[in-house]
A = this chain, B = another copy of it.
């Protein structure tokens, strides 16, 4: 079963909007063991849209389009699909009922003057839109399906998952995937060193199990082995682990799995029954926001003080004015004081602090943009370190945050 996504909209190609539908659909399909084979992004231009549909129809079984089914004049998808399939638009009783129901849900009345949602191409199916107003459109022919979903990410995801896929199944499409994957997440060693110096035969060794990919991230490299048969996973993982354990990669592996670092930390802290907090300056709340993205983080995360101004470091964290003047706000001394001050006041078991220079301005020769001082405090430990990274302001915030979270993980593991 080959699945393809066509994302329609000038706003994506002009960079006004960041794609969110591929970002949702790709991992969703993958978890189901299904493959997304192609993605095409085109402008709101009839010739581009027709070309994309024609090409996709030749090579794929299921084609989902995102965008262009709203009420405004640049919403062309319905008309173009009608043209593609050689059908005329006409009133559809089912579409009309869906639209009336959707408007009732938001306490508004729909009439044929509101918009043309009740007109759909002949032989197409209008579908529910559980969270939006415009119906989805489905065209099934020659054992293939072309389906139009809204571009609004929330509507897109609900329509694909709760409406399109059940409909396809009811029409006899086989949507049961069977794919397993072992993921080795490493930290602190470049891709090339892994497959060169450290483990020159690893790639070939892993290829015995399936397709190997190497995935460098902002914080490390993931090695993925993908194979047919989810049922093989336990056995393969055991074998792969014993291969890796014979290499020098071991100290760099931080997880066998796909959890994010934040999620992994929250789980670890829960297991240990330990609480955490942060004192942030240059990361500006990003560390806390990452941790609170994880459901259930409130069991272990007590809070963070974003002490951006120096006065806030003094007033909230009892960092001494003297230390700030003597060593500077970005210094290991102040980072330590922040970590200790926050940990004591939050009454937490662990605290990591961040003071650095995210730029683009504010750097000096001794303290350049990219420098971060981090402090760590627990009941038995008060230490600090300085690291330097490269990148723009947002990348630096990200690297400052992730490196500090890796430190926290290490301390939790050494506990």
Contacts and interface: CB of A to CB of B under 8 A. Distances in A.
A289 B292 contact: no
A308 interface: yes
Contacts of A203: 72-73
A contact residues, range: 35 or more
B391 A154 contact: yes
Given A12-B26, A303-B306, A72 B214 contact: yes
A315 interface: yes
A246 B306 CA distance: 44
Contacts of A282: 292
A301 interface: yes
Contact of A74 (B15, B35, B212): B212
A380 B325 CA distance: 34
A131 interface: yes
A311 interface: yes
A247 B74 CA distance: 21
A28 B41 contact: no
**Residue among A286, A304, A315 facing the most chain B CB atoms (10 A cut-off):** A304
A213 interface: yes
Contacts of A301: 308-309
Given A71-B192, A305-B305, 14 more contacts: A10-B211, A13-B26, A13-B35, A15-B25, A15-B30, A16-B30, A37-B43, A38-B40, A38-B48, A73-B212, A74-B213, A133-B192, A289-B289, A302-B311
29 contacts: A10-B211, A10-B213, A11-B224, A13-B38, A15-B28, A38-B40, A38-B48, A40-B40, A70-B192, A71-B191, A72-B195, A73-B203, A131-B390, A154-B390, A278-B306, A284-B288, A284-B292, A284-B297, A289-B397, A292-B358, A296-B361, A297-B308, A298-B309, A301-B309, A302-B308, A303-B306, A309-B346, A315-B345, A316-B316
